Amino acid sequence: MPYRAPVEEYQFLFEHVVGLPKVTETDRFAEATPDMTAAILTEAGRMCEDVLAPLQRAGDLHPAHLENGVVRTSPGYAEGYKAIAEGGWVSISASPEHGGMGLPMTVTTAVNEMMSAACLSLQLNPLMTQGQIEALDHHGSDAIKALYLPKLVSGEWAGTMNLTEPQAGSDVGALRSRAEPNGDGSYAITGQKIYISWGDNDFTENVCHLVLARLPDSAPGTKGISLFLVPKIIPNADGTLGARNSLHVVSLEHKMGLHGSPTAVMQYDGATGWLVGEPQGGMRAMFTMMNNARLGVGGQGIGAAEGAYQHALAYALERKQGRSPVADGTGTILDHADVRRMLLTMKADIFAARAIALSCAVAIDMQTAGQDPAWGARAALLTPIAKAFGTATGVAVAEMGVQVHGGMGFIEETGAAQYYRDVRVTAIYEGTNGIQAMDLVARKMMDRGAAAFALLDEIDTTAKAAQSALTDLAAPVADAARTLRETVQWLVAQDDLNDRFAGAEPFLRGFARVLGGHFHLTAALAEGGNGAHTKLARFYITRMLPEHIGLFAHARTGAADLYTLSADELSQ
Catalytic residue ranges: 430
Could you tell me which of 346, 345, 427, 442 has the C-alpha nearest to residue 387? 427
CA pair distance 333, 320, nearest whole angstrom: 6
Q: Judge contact between 354 and 13, C-beta under 8 A.
A: yes
Pairing of strands 206-214, 157-162: parallel
DSSP class of residue 528 equals T
Could you tell me which of 314, 403, 304 has the C-alpha nearest to residue 354? 304
CA pair distance 297, 450, nearest whole angstrom: 26
CA pair distance 430, 441, nearest whole angstrom: 18
210, containing H or E segment:
strand 206-214
Q: Residue 48 burial (CB < 10 Å; 0-12/13-18/19+)?
A: buried
Q: How many residues does the chain have?
A: 572
Q: Judge contact between 132 and 161, C-beta under 8 A.
A: yes
Could you tell me which of 449, 506, 530, 516 has the C-alpha nearest to residue 476? 516
CA pair distance 549, 537, nearest whole angstrom: 18
Could you tell me which of 131, 133, 115, 94 has the C-alpha nearest to residue 44? 115
Q: What are phi and psi of 374, to 5 degrees?
A: -60, -25
